[in-house]
Chains A and B, each alone.
Chain A
Amino acid sequence: MRSDRMAECLGTPADASVSGYLRINDRCTFVINYASLRMGIFAPTMMLVKSIQLRTGVMTMSPRFSRRDFAKFSLAASTAMLTGLKGASAATPKGEPIRIGVLHSLSGTMAISETTLKDAILMMVELQNRKGGVLGRPLEAVVVDPASNWPLFAEKARQLLAVDKVASVFGCWTSVSRKSVLPVFEELNGILFYPVQYEGQECSRNVFYTGAAPNQQAIPAVDYLLSADGGGAKRFALVGTDYVYPRTTNQILQNYLKGKGIADADIMVNYTPFGQSDWQTIVSQLKSFGSGGKKTAVVSTINGDANVPFYKELAAQGISATDIPVMAFSVGEEELAGMDTKPLVGQLAAWNYFESIDTPANKAFIKEWHDYTKNPKRTTNDPMEASYIGFNLWVQAVEKVGSTDHDKVIDAMVGLKQANLTGGTAQVLPNHHITKPVYIGEIQDDGQFNVVWQTPKEVPGMAWSPYVAETKNLIGDWTKPISCGNYDTVKKACLGAKHG
């Protein structure tokens, strides 16, 4: 969903056409058509290249324990030893290590975003081991590289669960990668912590969704635009990249806006291909749409890579945030790091975490992060906080039941609480989503966000959207007696499928 929620199906279009992933999720037929058309001339050779690349493993390197990780662990071990010698209170973890899996792409198009999350989990493992591990045993991270290749995600997930016997897995970014591992987690009864905001409409017993559901990001963001503080917009342009997350989100938003009395004529929906780099026409369309005599706002679900040229074009055509504000769901601190933000001041983003939020916990986290990465400029972002929450919730659950047994941990998770980095508490709900505060930030000229609005209290995540006709009666509840991911509250029946 954010940067690089990337090619839901395929990566950037060019990448798509170059790599041409062959197996594809059924939602993605449209894109593959486009890609194969694009491939027209080179398809046969490209596929040859791809298959050779897959066979020789050019992009797939998956050492369970890289040398760098080893260095980090020996460092952690020696620090632990040192503190032990000094007689510090934290006990050195002993015994058979508890393994946890890290399933984030370290190569390919998604590497840009997912590498950060891998580092964040490794940092937290190190910190946890310094604090005495879990159940007195050290944690060991098993890092695999699914290489931004969706089928490979399922393969690596199977490896983690069946071969490495990990206690839990932290991973995935794109919805398609999550959908690809879902059957594996359900078959082998694993635990996945998914740390990225997503389109909802899913509720699996084996997944904990620590990122935002649509009602924890999109709906509050639109509420803000409708409010007097946000400019009281009466006309909305929903602009997004053409894949499942923007399409689902925009469908929800369209229904929601209509419920708020916005006429059809005042809603414009526009989709662009992945990695769109020429925004001239669309920005000028937005401009003329904005001249309809009503305050206009843009809601952007544009995929990360295409955002830079989009904002550059907005600046070039002289649209400022005070004329037509753009509310983005996929632009975070990391995307802004690649942009000159002066022309963007005042443009909006909705997240559940901003690096700029000034709380002691957040400051401490940022400091740990800078120390760990040895880079004082490395930014933190929303999915990192979601990883942090997920990791700590899992530690709590394991400590609570005194075992890493998957069923016990899953049952113990519901109701657990973890303090957010930005204040407030995340509580695990029966539908395996969590409560989250929602913040609206305005881009500043230093590339950070200034929070201008926040929800008065945490918003509980909803797996199924009430604004979509087919799912408006559904809830997820994995506690007894319902124990169902898609329970119809009208028919009083579980629809049966294991997930959405």
Chain B
Amino acid sequence: MKTFLAAALLCLSFALPVTARADEDAFSGLTTTQFNVIATSVSQIAQEGGPRALPVLRALSDHKLFAAKEGDGLFIQTDSGWQDARTGAAATPDPEMVRPVRLNNHVRQAVAAAEAQLQLIAGTPAERQAAATLLYQRHDPAMLPAIDAALGKTDDASLKTMLQDARAATLLTPGAPPSDEQTQRQAVATLYAAGGLDARGVLTQATTSEALAPATRKDAQDAVASIDRSLRLWGFGQDAFYGLSLGSVLLLAAMGLAITFGVMGVINMAHGELMMIGAYTTWLTQRAVMSVAPSLGSFSLILAVPAAFLVCGALGILIERGLIRFLYGRPLETLLATWGLSLILQQVIRSLFGPTNVAVITPSWLSGSFHLGGLEITLNRLAIMIFAIAVMGGLMLVLRRTSLGLEMRAVTQNRRMAALMGIHTARVDALTFGLGSGIAGLAGVAVSQIDNVSPNLGQNYIIDSFLVVVFGGVGNLWGTLAAAMTLGVGGKALEPIVGAVSGKILILVLVILYIQRHPRGMFPLRGRGVES
């Protein structure tokens, strides 16, 4: 019995310091494998502050934090080796005996909040602003003291506004310390003034929150209704943006076809595959640039534009010389031959690069979005719109202002007359087809930023492209532009009302009805040339 007691005591005496240590040290929680313990520990680290808090949290979110497999050692992997997470001193753990500290969304949330909390005090102005925004979005009642502290310290007007919004949002969140009706209504007013989806979320929650006074809830209800009204108004603008951006994609896809089909009259079923090859060229360019000069990687897209144009243009000339020139005036044969060609091109790409998607990276200058009033403008879409307009402008210039463009128009309007005037029509045919194909390549570059890059890419666009060209009026670039934008805006206007599937059907029905009445499309070519 005595020995048992002694043993028990001995155990206790060992156990005590260990438990005491775990209580003292917020970092110990990080060495467990339970996500909720890690998350609690992260919040605790942020509460305590301390010089090691931020480096450890950063290491955690960068997957650079490692825990010893035994004991509660915690290490940060650096470029040059290891350091002890608690002290920052160099350390030499056995790499076999450490494991990375894992994260899940719960932990990631805690880390983001903790980092924001720390940066609110110690960060650069930009970091503080970002931190305040995050606290506003999260509106976690536990952060209220941190927000108050930061409010007391800052003089920066915009930071102060953001912090006040964050404070208001936090006060209205369930679990916040009780506040008087005056403060609550003030908070509702602040959020109402802030507007936007985040404010709407908090206010919606507030309308049913038991912790708030009835008058506050009523205020919140009015505010939600009012925010909804303004969101709905902005929504029209947003839908218009979505529509124009969809229209730009359609325009890019259809413009090449407007040349080959519209101007030359070649039904080119391999048009989509040329786009696909343009997208693969983008991918290859990106890989090449990454391996030669990784620092220029984010600009590889700019390099891909001429590359795709040249590759697809050359391929187009090859197709014209090797296949299509034997089939002029025989639309059905052309259709079958180019259809076969499209299958061949798909299979070639599949054999060369595999059937799976390849990852084209979106450079950082094209990622994300910015706000314009209540509109959210995504950068990649905006870039595609600008790109589409630029390509359209360039194409117009080529057709209107260059001798090639003149010859093209001459040949397509009256081949024999043009030949009699000394124009080398075969050469012009090849170049025209090359131009159309090159533009398909450019479309491929743009599409690689928003869609799959796989051998099937082209099939998703070929029908839409024909639709745009036919709807707009064959042979008329302005018609193509108008048709693309009509289809884009129309589609996006219908989508929120009737859903994506029915929206598409409805658009197609409308287009078919329109073409029934106006077989030559929106902007038909007129004149004697057309009749022949």
Contacts and interface: CB of A to CB of B under 8 A. Distances in A.
A454 interface: no
B288 interface: no
Contacts of B369: 316-318
Interface in A223-273: 228-231, 242, 270-273
Given A112-B355, A273-B500, A317-B369, A41 B467 contact: yes
A277 B451 contact: yes
Interface in B500-526: 500-501, 504-505, 508-509, 511-512, 515
A242 B272 CA distance: 24
Contact of A49 (B198, B204, B339, B358): B339
A2 to B, nearest CB: 12
A98 interface: no
A49 B338 CA distance: 11
A125 interface: no
Contacts of A74: none
Given A40-B508, A337-B357, A340-B362, A282 B376 contact: no
A317 B495 CA distance: 18
Interface in A306-327: 308-309, 312-313, 315-318, 321-323, 325
Interface stretch (B124-132, B316-324, B411-419, B454-462): B454-462
A293 B367 contact: no
B359 A38 contact: no
B378 A316 contact: yes
Interface string B181-215: 00000000000000001101111111110000000
Contacts of A115: 355
Nearest to A337: B356
A329 B360 CA distance: 24
Contact of A318 (B109, B205, B368): B368
Contact of B201 (A37, A49, A58, A293): A293
Contact of A293 (B202, B356, B456, B496): B202
B500 A272 contact: yes
A77 interface: no
B42 interface: no
Nearest to B461: A14
A458 interface: no
Contact of B242 (A14, A17, A280, A442): A280
B343 interface: yes
Nearest to A306: B452
Q: Which one of A15, A115, A242, A322 has the greatest number of beta carbons of chain B within 10 Å?
A: A322
Contacts of B368: 316, 318
B398 interface: no
Interface string B282-312: 0000000000000000000000000000000
Contacts of A340: 359-362
Interface stretch (B52-60, B99-107, B156-164, B436-444): B99-107
A338 B501 contact: no
Contact of B356 (A38, A282, A313, A334): A334
Contacts of B239: 281
Contacts of B340: 58
B108 interface: yes
B381 A277 contact: no
B179 to A, nearest CB: 19
Contact of B359 (A12, A270, A285, A337): A337
A305 B242 CA distance: 21
Nearest to A339: B359
Given A40-B512, A59-B343, A287-B197, A270 B462 contact: no
Contact of A317 (B137, B362, B376, B456): B376
A116 B193 CA distance: 56
B203 A276 contact: no
Contact of A452 (B104, B249, B376, B381): B104
B167 interface: no
Interface in A447-469: 450, 452
Contact of B108 (A15, A292, A322, A343): A322
Contacts of B402: none
A346 interface: yes
B453 interface: yes
A42 interface: yes
Contact of A229 (B35, B102, B112): B35
B505 A34 contact: yes
Contact of B501 (A229, A271, A346): A271
Nearest to A30: B501
Contacts of B231: 288
A111 B346 CA distance: 12
B466 interface: yes
B143 to A, nearest CB: 15
B378 A322 contact: no
Given A58-B343, A231-B106, A309-B451, A282 B336 contact: no
Interface string A42-57: 1001001100100000
B46 to A, nearest CB: 16
B470 interface: yes
A45 B496 CA distance: 34
Contact of B105 (A294, A308, A318, A325): A325
A500 B206 CA distance: 48
A221 interface: no
A171 B208 CA distance: 53
Q: Which one of A45, A281, A313 has the greatest number of beta carbons of chain B within 10 Å?
A: A281
Contacts, number: 198
A71 to B, nearest CB: 17
A281 B376 contact: no
B245 interface: yes
A275 interface: yes
Nearest to A269: B499
A16 B369 CA distance: 34
A14 B455 CA distance: 13
B501 A305 contact: no
Interface string B356-399: 11111110000111000000101111000000000000000000
A290 interface: yes
B106 A282 contact: no
Contacts of B202: 293
A407 interface: no
B356 A338 contact: yes
Contact of A18 (B102, B108, B459, B499): B459
Contacts of B467: 41
Given A340-B362, A442-B104, A14 B460 contact: yes
A315 B515 CA distance: 38
Interface string A109-120: 101100100000
Contacts of B151: none
Contact of B36 (A39, A229, A442, A450): A229
A12 B106 CA distance: 36
A372 B461 CA distance: 36
A59 B347 CA distance: 10
28 contacts: A12-B456, A14-B272, A17-B463, A34-B504, A37-B508, A38-B463, A38-B504, A45-B335, A49-B335, A59-B343, A229-B104, A271-B499, A273-B500, A277-B452, A281-B492, A284-B376, A285-B496, A290-B201, A291-B198, A293-B200, A293-B206, A312-B450, A316-B367, A316-B368, A322-B105, A338-B359, A346-B108, A452-B102
Given A273-B501, A313-B378, A316-B369, 20 more contacts: A14-B460, A34-B504, A37-B509, A38-B508, A112-B456, A230-B105, A284-B238, A288-B231, A291-B201, A292-B204, A293-B201, A293-B208, A309-B450, A312-B450, A317-B378, A323-B137, A325-B105, A339-B359, A346-B104, A346-B108
Interface of B: 35-36, 102, 104-106, 108-109, 112, 137, 197-198, 200-208, 231, 238-239, 242, 245-246, 249, 272, 332, 335-336, 339-340, 343, 347, 350, 355-362, 367-369, 376, 378-381, 449-454, 456, 459-464, 466-467, 470, 492, 495-496, 499-501, 504-505, 508-509, 511-512, 515
A-B pairs with lowest CB-CB distance, top 3 = A338-B357, A293-B205, A293-B204
